[in-house]
């Protein structure tokens, strides 16, 4: 009888060890930052952690392993075709959008420091075209942000030679 009782005890103990534990960590300090659509947690002073990579995978080993949910990416430009040419350019670039169904289309041009240097809005229609004259700007990399109804749909890197 005692071996059966002892065996049952170890069996129940092994079942309890299979349960999942919550995300807990012992560290010197840490915290959590909650935004409108995100949460960031951090810890300082974990006893052991390492990052291993190989075969296209990355393993972050440590005590604080975040939970995650896979979500889809919203397609901001479902049917329209956006073209920016020529890129790189010596002066004028063309921005053209076909099959555009939005209310308005505009662009903002930024230098590589993030400062806004040009802004323009266009008339809606099935085909929208802009000509942007960069001949007065110095050579370098610029970022062209294309917006539809005041919502960003694409950011394009433009090179001025």
Paired tokens of 85: 């040419």
Closest residue by Cα to residue 132 from 141, 147, 120: 120
pLDDT in tens, the chain (161 residues): 577 877 777 777 676 665 555 556 666 677 788 888 777 777 776 666 677 788 877 766 666 555 666 665 555 555 567 889 999 999 999 988 876 666 777 889 999 888 999 998 877 677 778 899 999 999 999 999 988 777 888 889 999 98
Tokens 């960031």, residue?
Answer: 40
Paired tokens of 115: 């400062």
Domains of the chain, first to last: 25-71 (no CATH), 81-160 (2.60.40.1930)
């Amino acid at each position: 009888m005692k071996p059966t009782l002892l065996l049952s005890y170890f069996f129940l103990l092994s079942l309890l060890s299979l349960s999942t534990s919550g995300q807990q960590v012992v560290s010197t300090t840490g915290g959590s930052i909650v935004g409108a659509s995100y949460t960031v947690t951090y810890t300082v002073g974990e006893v052991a952690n390492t990052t291993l990579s190989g075969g296209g995978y990355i393993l972050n080993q440590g005590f604080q392993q975040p939970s995650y949910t896979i979500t889809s990416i919203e397609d901001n430009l479902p049917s329209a075709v956006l073209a920016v040419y020529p890129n790189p350019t010596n002066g004028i670039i063309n921005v053209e959008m076909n099959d555009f169904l939005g209310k308005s289309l505009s662009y903002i041009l930024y230098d590589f420091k993030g400062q806004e240097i040009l802004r323009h809005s266009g008339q809606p229609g099935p085909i929208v075209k802009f000509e942007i004259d960069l001949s007065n700007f110095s050579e370098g990399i610029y970022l062209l942000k294309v917006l539809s109804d005041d919502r960003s749909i694409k950011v394009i890197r433009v090179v001025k030679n």
